[in-house]
């Protein structure tokens, strides 16, 4: 199976490492020609996960996305949600015919308030039968260090998800499959919002006792939201374990880990940074910022009870002071 990777950031680089460590040659689209030249010369991505080295003979590198798509059977899309449409909109409408797509995007596309599969269906007539998601808990930095991690591959047909997942199984990475392809994507969106909130709480000098109660309530709120979308996303088999790693595990690691850019971003907000100042300081995309607005829009139709996520939206987008917002959140917790 010929894999193509779309994206040049830390998560794309980690996925490229996993595939090439398994002996696969990959086609890799990176927007910046200078980065491509440096990878060819130095054998690592100079900007992200620079400790991960590659065999150049396994890489076809190009800044022409159509060329990479054409050469690949399975496309792993690993670009921040805010930039996905800009990259994919240059493709011909029939570019994805006969392909399989694995989404490694951890957010809603903010320009259209859609999940990636919804955008691909509308713009490329792409079937969800050929669409899969890959989600954590799995920090790119720990993949680079080859610390044991787990990835969940979701597709509406688990057998097909397994066929793809086995290419990613290594000594340092175990793979799991499930059928909840829509639910896991929304879980990834929500956990970034809650992790950003965990960072705000830390910046406001709340302690571990509060944070544990906060995260437990976030897990409950996430389950409420995911159950509200079940009639749309999982009609045939509603039995889902929301304590599984792709739901609860990913929430926990994103809220607690120092690798979490959402937690780091939130910590800055809690310490008094403006959103703009925090974005400039972080110099990477914190998906939870845009995600908070996207989930608010999505929930206008669902009316799920998600007061924590809504309050974090108010802090980020409506200038609600962080301390005042967390006083509100204190009243929601049990």
Of the residues 119, 144, 179, which one is the last residue of a structural domain?
A: 179
Which residues of the chain register pLDDT less than 70? 231-238
What pLDDT does residue 98 have?
96
For residues 300 and 240, membership in a common domain is answered with yes
For residues 166 and 196, membership in a common domain is answered with no
- 191 an active-site residue? yes
- Which one of the listed residues 191, 235, 293, 327 is annotated catalytic? 191
For residues 20 and 168, membership in a common domain is answered with yes
For residues 198 and 260, membership in a common domain is answered with yes
For residues 168 and 191, membership in a common domain is answered with no
For residues 21 and 130, membership in a common domain is answered with yes
What pLDDT does residue 231 have?
57
What pLDDT does residue 232 have?
52
For residues 165 and 225, membership in a common domain is answered with no
What pLDDT does residue 238 have?
54
Of the residues 128, 147, 179, which one is the last residue of a structural domain?
A: 179
For residues 206 and 165, membership in a common domain is answered with no
**In CATH, what number is assigned to the domain containing residue 238?**
1.10.1040.10
What pLDDT does residue 239 have?
79
For residues 205 and 317, membership in a common domain is answered with yes
What pLDDT does residue 235 have?
47
For residues 65 and 93, membership in a common domain is answered with yes
Cα separation of 53 and 158, whole Å? 32
**In CATH, what number is assigned to the domain containing residue 119?**
3.40.50.720
Reading the block at residue 124, the tokens are 């490329």
For residues 163 and 249, membership in a common domain is answered with no
CA-to-CA dists, residue 24 to 21, 145, 299, angstroms: 7, 19, 41
Of the residues 179, 214, 243, which one is the last residue of a structural domain?
A: 179
pLDDT digits (tens, 9 = 90+) for 199-233: 999 999 999 999 999 999 999 999 999 999 875 55
Total domains in the chain come to: 2
pLDDT digits (tens, 9 = 90+) for 162-208: 999 999 999 999 999 999 999 999 999 999 999 999 999 999 999 99
Cα separation of 105 and 177, whole Å? 17
For residues 248 and 161, membership in a common domain is answered with no
110: containing domain: 3-179
């Amino acid at each position: 199976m010929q894999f193509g990777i779309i994206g040049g950031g830390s998560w794309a680089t980690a996925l490229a490492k996993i595939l090439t460590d398994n002996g696969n040659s990959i086609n890799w689209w990176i927007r910046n020609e200078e980065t491509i030249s440096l990878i060819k010369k130095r054998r690592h991505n100079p900007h992200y996960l620079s400790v991960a080295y590659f065999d150049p003979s396994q890489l076809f590198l190009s800044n022409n996305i159509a060329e990479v798509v054409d050469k690949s059977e399975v496309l792993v899309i690993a670009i921040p949600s805010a930039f996905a449409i800009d990259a994919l909109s240059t493709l011909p409408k029939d570019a994805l015919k006969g392909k399989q797509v694995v989404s490694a995007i951890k957010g809603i596309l903010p320009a259209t308030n859609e999940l990636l599969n919804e955008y691909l269906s509308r713009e490329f007539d792409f079937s969800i039968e050929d669409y899969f998601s890959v989600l954590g808990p799995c920090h790119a930095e720990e993949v680079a260090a080859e610390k044991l991690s787990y990835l969940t591959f979701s597709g509406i047909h688990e057998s097909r998800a397994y066929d793809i997942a086995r290419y990613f199984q290594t000594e340092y990475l175990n793979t799991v499959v499930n059928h909840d392809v829509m639910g896991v994507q929304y879980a990834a969106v929500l956990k970034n919002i809650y992790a950003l909130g965990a960072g705000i709480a830390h910046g406001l000098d709340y302690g571990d006792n509060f944070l544990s109660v906060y995260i437990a309530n976030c897990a409950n709120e996430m389950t409420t939201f995911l159950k509200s979308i079940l009639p749309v996303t999982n009609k045939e088999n509603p039995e889902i374990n929301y304590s599984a790693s792709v739901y609860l595990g990913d929430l926990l690691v994103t809220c607690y880990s120092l690798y979490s850019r959402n937690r780091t971003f939130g910590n800055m907000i809690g310490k008094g940074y403006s959103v703009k100042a925090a974005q400039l300081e972080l110099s990477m995309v914190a998906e939870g910022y845009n995600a908070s607005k996207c989930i608010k829009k999505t929930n206008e139709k669902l009316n799920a009870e998600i007061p924590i996520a809504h309050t974090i939206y108010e802090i980020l987008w409506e200038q609600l002071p962080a301390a005042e917002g967390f006083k509100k959140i204190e009243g929601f917790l049990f």
